[in-house]
């Protein structure tokens, strides 16, 4: 047994300390390392630090767990105003106590790399982080796990709440399709293991044997996320006639950027673009626990955007109750397979849902063996409105009033007018508009990713309401509040 395996034997005890009400002194190292492909990291370079700061929503746990100390490892200091804001959110009655248990370890490096790799370049900061842990019970909460995160965990002598790095490729698109079929979860017509236009054309020829009406399809790069490596293409000409295999091979990836062709060469899938009168993009999330347990967390509706409507831009919670129970059943089947293989940590499965005369049909599309685009918004809900997800009714039930809660969230609330808007003024603007989160009511707006205001006028918003309509109304009111703030003198970051 190696050092990492021995370390992971202590994960259960660390997680037992990290529960609401626990007074056991322990440390959670929040490590939003985003150890992804070089292509994906380069695309998000300008907002990497802001994405790292999304983990501050997870730090809201400090308001519910008196014994926890949270250390966020980040490439840019979010600033005292932002840290104080999260402390007040976590405990409006005693924010000073939370603030003493919330800190950052800044690794000053703006290169397009995960922060774990940056931290490994700084043994002095690794030593400082280990000193902050000070021999207490600790765990590392990563975004995903590769060799870099393992090396950090071993150096800190703290277990990782995530799967072993050799399991990381199980989340790739080709591997996910195989795993879905093994779990008995439906998938769209398609094939995995394609590498170029010739492979795609050959796969389409085989797909047409069972689907002669095949038209548009999606080519996906194996190692990608947030829809960034997806490309929608047509298999028919302008008259609606099917393109021949040779013509398709020559044309199917025409115009694709060089990075897409390069990444596809390492592997990808081709799938039918599922369509119908009404189509949605739900997801379901679970935690894989030490010992093989599975805990259902939530379902969401994903909001997709971009030119081809393949990019994840936000979410609504919960998913439609018409199929929420089926989402839970499918994700649990996949989770049990991964749990038996020894995986721990967060798992999410993305689906496409189509309504026709026979009701709703679900197909699984992607598997994320890591945290994802709904992890931070769900963290805000679970820590600010403690409760549980009722899988039978497909809704969140708040502890303090027994009522439901919903939310609308996005990392992409952006307006050039807000460029350089001071985070403190943004926070004030939301409060002045009567939108700030109200702990007594358990509703209101939470801001995140405020570092992105300085680079592209972007901010993250999670609006929690008692109904879907209330959450949508709160969310929609934020841009006007920020525009008003941006017009005031002295609103820009100095």
pLDDT above 60: residue 411: yes
**What pLDDT does 331 receive?**
97
Question: What would the mean pLDDT of 449-453 be, rounded to a whole number?
Answer: 97
**What pLDDT does 315 receive?**
96
Instruction: Label residue 119 by pLDDT band (50, 70, 90).
Output: very high
**What pLDDT does 227 receive?**
62
pLDDT cut 70: percent of the chain above it? 97
**What pLDDT does 1 receive?**
57
CATH class of 399-494: alpha beta
Contacts of 474 (CB under 8 A, 6+ apart): 408, 435, 443, 444, 445, 463, 464, 465
| Cα–Cα dist 375/86, whole Å | 17
The 3-state DSSP class for residue 405 equals strand
- Give burial (CB, 10 Å; 0-12/13-18/19+) of 477: middle
Contacts of 277 (CB under 8 A, 6+ apart): 355, 356
**What pLDDT does 169 receive?**
87
Residue-wise pLDDT for 264-296, tens only, equals 999 999 999 998 889 999 999 999 999 999 999
Residue-wise pLDDT for 251-261, tens only, equals 889 988 998 89
pTM above 0.75, yes or no: yes
Preceding peptide of 200 cis, ω within 30°: no
Joined together, the tokens standing for residue 119 give 């931290």
Higher pLDDT, 2 or 102: 102
Residue-wise pLDDT for 184-219, tens only, equals 999 999 999 999 999 999 999 999 999 899 999 999
**What pLDDT does 493 receive?**
58
Joined together, the tokens standing for residue 91 give 């405990």
Nearest Cα to Cα of residue 144 among 167, 122, 123 = 167
| Cα–Cα dist 139/159, whole Å | 5
Q: Where in the chain is the domain with CATH 3.30.70?
A: 399-494
Question: Which DSSP category does 234 fall into?
Answer: E
pLDDT above 80: residue 225: no
**What pLDDT does 46 receive?**
82
| Cα–Cα dist 433/336, whole Å | 46
Residue-wise pLDDT for 481-492, tens only, equals 999 999 887 666
pLDDT above 50: residue 410: yes
Instruction: Label residue 123 by pLDDT band (50, 70, 90).
Output: very high
pLDDT above 60: residue 64: yes
Residue-wise pLDDT for 46-57, tens only, equals 889 999 999 999
The residue count of the chain comes to 494
pLDDT above 50: residue 494: no
CA-based torsion, 307, 313, 319, 324: positive or negative: positive
Residue-wise pLDDT for 348-405, tens only, equals 999 999 998 889 999 999 999 999 889 999 999 999 999 999 999 999 999 999 999 9
pLDDT cut 90: percent of the chain above it? 82
Least confident of 69-73, 106-110, 167-171, 333-337: 167-171
- Is 8:153 a contact under the CB 8 Å cutoff? no
Instruction: Label residue 44 by pLDDT band (50, 70, 90).
Output: confident
| Arithmetic mean of pLDDT over the chain | 93
């Amino acid at each position: 047994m190696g050092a990492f395996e021995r370390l992971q034997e202590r994960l259960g005890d660390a997680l037992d300390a990290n529960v609401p009400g626990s007074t056991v002194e322990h440390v959670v190292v929040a490590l939003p390392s985003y150890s992804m492909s070089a292509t994906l990291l380069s695309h998000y370079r300008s907002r990497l630090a802001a994405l790292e700061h999304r983990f501050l929503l997870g730090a809201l746990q400090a308001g519910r767990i008196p014994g926890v100390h949270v250390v966020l490892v980040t490439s840019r200091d979010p600033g005292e105003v932002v840290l104080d804001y999260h402390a007040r959110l976590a405990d409006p009655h005693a924010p000073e106590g939370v603030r003493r248990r919330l800190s950052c370890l800044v690794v000053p490096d703006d290169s397009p790399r995960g922060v774990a790799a940056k931290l490994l370049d700084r043994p002095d900061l690794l030593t400082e982080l280990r000193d902050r842990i000070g021999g207490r019970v600790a765990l590392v909460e990563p975004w995903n796990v590769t060799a870099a995160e393992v090396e950090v965990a071993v150096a800190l002598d703290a277990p990782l709440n995530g799967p072993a790095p050799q399991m990381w490729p199980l989340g790739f698109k080709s591997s996910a399709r195989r795993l879905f079929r093994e779990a008995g979860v439906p998938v769209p017509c398609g094939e995995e293991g394609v590498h170029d236009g010739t492979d795609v054309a050959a796969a389409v020829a085989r797909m047409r044997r069972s689907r002669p009406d095949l038209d548009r399809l999606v080519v996906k790069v194996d190692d990608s996320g947030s829809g960034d490596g997806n490309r929608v293409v047509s298999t028919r000409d302008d008259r609606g006639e099917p393109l021949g295999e040779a013509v398709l091979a020559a044309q199917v990836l025409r115009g694709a950027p060089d990075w897409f062709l390069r990444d596809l060469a390492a592997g990808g899938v081709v799938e039918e673009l599922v369509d119908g009168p009404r189509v949605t993009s739900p997801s379901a999330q679970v935690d894989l626990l030490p010992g093989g347990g599975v805990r259902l967390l939530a379902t969401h509706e994903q909001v997709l955007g971009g030119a081809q409507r393949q990019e994840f831009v936000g979410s609504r919670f919960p998913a439609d109750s018409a199929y929420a129970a089926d989402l839970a059943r499918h994700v649990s089947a996949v989770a049990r397979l991964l749990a038996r293989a020894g995986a721990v940590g967060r798992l999410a499965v993305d689906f496409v849902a189509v309504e026709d005369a026979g009701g709703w049909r679900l197909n699984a599309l992607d598997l994320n063996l890591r945290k994802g685009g709904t992890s931070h918004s769900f963290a805000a809900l679970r820590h600010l409105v403690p409760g549980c997800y009722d899988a039978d009714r497909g809704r969140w039930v708040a502890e303090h009033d027994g009522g439901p809660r919903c939310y609308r969230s996005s990392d992409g609330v952006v307006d050039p007018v807000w460029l350089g808007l001071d985070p403190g003024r943004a926070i004030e603007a939301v409060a002045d508009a009567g939108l700030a989160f109200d702990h007594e009511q358990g509703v209101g707006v939470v801001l995140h990713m405020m570092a992105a205001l300085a680079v592209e006028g972007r901010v993250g918003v999670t609006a929690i309401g008692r109904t879907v309509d209330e959450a949508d109304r709160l969310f929609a009111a934020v841009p006007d509040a920020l525009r008003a703030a941006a017009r005031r003198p002295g609103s820009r970051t100095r």
